[in-house]
Structure 1
Amino acid sequence: MAGVCEGLKDLQEKEIEKVKSSLDGQVRVISGIGDFTNVVTIHPDGLDLHCKFQLTESYPQTPPTISIRSSVLNSDQTASLISSLQTEATSKVGQMMLVDLMTSCKRWLFENDVDVCASTVAEKSKHKKGNGKSKQGNNKEKIKPENEIGDKSSKKKPPMRTAADVIKRLQWDKAFDKENFWIGYLDRIVGLVEKKFTAFTWGDIAAVDYCTLAIPQHRIQYFKYFTEKVWDKNERLDNVFGSTGSKLTLIEAIKKYEDKQKELGEVEEKKNIPEVDVNENHEDGAAGSEMEDETEIYDEFEENECSNDEADEQINDLSKPEIHKKRPNFFVALQITDTNTIEKLLDVQNQVIKWYPSYTDHKIPANGFHLTLSVLKLENTSDNQACFDAMNQAKSKLEKLARNTEPLILQDLDHFSRRVIYAKVKYSQQFLALVDEIRDILINAGFDVGSSSFKPHLTLFNVRRSVCLERKDILLNAFNDSDCPFGSQAIDNIQVCRMGTLPKGDSTEFYENIFRFDM
């Protein structure tokens, strides 16, 4: 049996290489996702079409699971096309079939008179919008007296700088801290979504994987500096370049915003907020994202020092107005258990303290080293039990994913607004699949885990918001220039812990947990 599986694995790899060679630059492959050994997505050049083929370890002895995505196809057409391809795949069991299935897909579109050419789709959309504007414009001209119409050229609005221009400005102008900017964009499913600028990847969308946050720039609706809009497509607002006549540039807009906040006595608190995405908020106040989206700070490390009312007041001081009403009080953690890694991380902390003694009182103790995989709110003992039951029932699946995940590598340092200094984490796609599974378990059990993207990191220092930082800059490049990692950590435990319960002093105990699974 083992020989058969190896033979099928080799056959899959050969076929994937053949597909990549035949469709150069149009294929994306992710390996080891759940029950699938490979997920192959093909996006033909110039077409509004994505075909996904999910291959199990027994492929091609069993047909792939097929899904199709195109803005042109309605649900009936999509179902019909998938059914046609699935039937053909069943007839080709035991053979290489992906290239043939793509050919059949294009043939089906042609025979059913479905045009998925991206340029045609864009032109139709533009034409439709143009007709609407033209009709409206004609109606306006009819009700205007001739002497009021005047020269049309004099009424033309000035061209507005694009979202791409704003992105480039924020990317390359070092005068601006990208962490302070937010983007509002249209998601095809949920509508308007707002995320931090730093959560996105701005490279070629076709080259990114499923775990990378990237969007077409035409879906961007606005940019904010904290809560202040500085560019809005629909409102024709441009306070970045002043192209629409506002006469405000970004520097002036920021100064205007901060002057306004100073009058309210709030600007210092808002500027000191480190980036912490909702799923990456550590009990030590760590930050994060690509846990995909509101940015909040949950100082779980400090939580046992203040009341719930005080904690709610802290949340109300944050820069985003749409803050979650229910503050997370639990987190899913991977505790750092590798002793060599712990020793190296302590050495790193000591070196940072030598450079910056003011961080001495803000280091995370060794018994608190961990990565946060998700956060959630548990209201009572019933919630605690429901969470335990959900995680406990999924043990076998979690263990399978964990065993297929390569150890995490900790290397290099970075910081969030100088308040959180953390070790960067190098991870595999299998690790992201494990995190997604944990989030799905909690969501299916009825718990809100937020919607931020996930950016793994390990917090080493956390400075409370109430502490004034004297230095304006910290330099950590000495670590980043080294090829020597701080250590590694296997996925050997998963815990659901209560925030603010890390023992103080010389204790070696970890956070109080309601679920622990050691592998």
Structure 2
Amino acid sequence: MDYKSIQADEIEALSAIYDDMTIEYDDPVLRIIFPSMVTFVFIRSASYPVDKKCPEVEIPLLHDKYLMCNKFDIVNCMKVKGQEAAVHGQVCLFEMIDTGINFIRSTHASATNAKKAPPPVQRTKVDKTPAKAQKNKSKKSAEEEVVVIEKKSMRTATDVIHRIMWDDQIDQTEVIVGYLDRFVGIMERNFASFNWGDIATLSHAETAIPQHRIQYFSWRGEVIWDKRCRMDRVFGSSGHEVITFTPKAHTEDAKEVVQIKPAQASFVPTFHSNTDRPNAFLCFRIQDTAIVELLKQVQSAIISRDPRLASAAIPLQRLHCTLVLMRLKSIEDLWTARRVLSECQGLLHFTFPNNSGVQIKGVGHFGNRVIYAHVEPHAGLTAFVTIVKTRLAAAGIQLVGNHDPYVPHITLCKLSRELNRSIASIDHNSYAAYANVNFGTQPVSDAHLCSMAAKVQTIDGFYQRFGCMKNTSPELTRIWDFTVSKGQVVVLRGVPGSGKSTLSQCIQEYCSSHSLTCQVCSADDFFNGTYDRSLLADAHASCKQSFTNALDAKIDVIVIDNTNLQVRHVKEYLDAATTHDYQASIFELGAPNVQACIRRSCHAVPLEKYSDGPEPFIDGHIHTKIFPAYFPAPVDATSSIQSQNIGYGAIFLDKPSRQRLLQQCRPAHEKVLADHVTVAYAPSATTLSNLHLGTTIKLLVIGEASNNENQAVVVRCPEVGAWENEGTPHITISISSQGSAKNSSEL
């Protein structure tokens, strides 16, 4: 559990809520300063708030205006309020600060009203009331005023959450939570998309929100609780009218609207309206028979202790380790995800060479609501997940529900929301005997892109699959024509993913068939399956040493398999080859689409780092041969596309890009477009097969033009596989009521 992140989030939220507050932080002491009022000092434990302990609080400074307030009373009421939230494992500083400030203001207002001067006495009328009676009367009046000023404590967000969770009259999907995001501001999400248990019970596939960030709840479009204006219509604690919750009416028409046709269910993921929930995930299966049998024993032990948990056990044929959770919003997103994953095939093979795998050992839990088998730490697996997430995000895929740091595990039993109503937790003693059992090693032979829809039936009982990434070395068509001879050093050059390693394999096969000894020297050999960029200098030093040893051993053909993009790197090998009387050659792999190559690479390299390709090398004494890089179409990427049904192919702008463009180029006409660059009208089947569908590219705007009907900008585009649209690549910004987007090309 990352306690520091939770604590830092709370400080961020406090800064956003209170504009007139200063924060001084020296772990574990937190000083909250309200100028001209009060200073609070909080001392939080190292494991706050998961330890469910309210922070200690002191008041070292109270402004002279509020000296009538008793510090001891302020601290006591703050602790009481804070403990109400802390007992649920939630952060509580907001509740404590809010309570303290309200107490100080209320006490000050009461004292001020009590000290008000009595109304002036008329000289013509003398008040003969005895002094003692007047004093009692004045005191009684002051007490009555205090009662009017004091505000009744409003029920907290925690109270509202519990009411929504346990009231059968409230459909949780109809409740919207308005909460404070520290970067964006107020955001809204569906109540059902959160895990409302203790933070310690949060599983990797669930989402939580610190409850101090909650600003309001709404039900069927009507606000029912609002912290900002102290409104409580759930319990009526604020004095507002209590709302009556009624069950949602179900009609036959409504059922027809949400029903999914069986024909669609076999292919289309659930593109549900809740954007906060994932609907697809990448995973590898647990299929080793010995491991599955042992995991079955764990489930049986849990069920034998409480038979009601039978439905909580994950079916054995569905056991898996989740890698990445995502939300696919359309069929286009599905194609994009499949293409990105196909480009990561080499990365999977590099991470788990020769179908190696992960060690599964011991049993753990998330708050005794989710029981899982541990996957032992594997640096390569963590790096693989990080890279895949980065590449999916760069391609526009929405990643939802993933947790950082990544904790690989295999879920065995999980309490559903319905089961949790009758079973608070799973008895720890039921699986304690397996806490340290070594279940074995699961080979990673492939990774699957699956649907979250649990009810879709498949032949083998596993989840519905949209794609499979095989743990094999990507096969590129060997279109290269070359010869090598004894006493030759071949230096390969090219961006990551252009096919250097495959070319080096071809050279090795050629040498084997021609009875030549061959050695490939590569910095990748140093990492032994786990790439670490910080050790890159050591890796290249090791490669140079291997090259020197091969020269001394008189190996017939020596291949240098590195990017070698800079001339100085190439010359180091060429000079050494000449010194040892070897003939030197350069085989360079050209890459018209550098980004597509990098996405296919087995290393986590920035997409923009190699945008310029190899540095030009000019030496009349060295033979340089240029080979083309090959871009295979991803499997089934266009299988469901019929070319006769396509109007046009284009590069489409995402929302941030479109907004940025419109900020720089203000629309001149009433109809605003600014959404795409046309690549081909009515594209042929050949064009479709060559287009890099689903890839993310960068456009450079280099000019603008407009007339009475059209407004457009000229763009510079990278290689996208094919281009049939005549004229200058451009984006139509706006057109008049009489204009046509097709006329923009004439500008």
TM-score, normalising length from structure 1? 0.44
More helix per residue: 1 or 2?
1
Specify which structure has the bigger relative contact order, considering alpha-carbon pairs within 8 angstroms and separated by 6 or more residues: 1
Larger Rg: 2
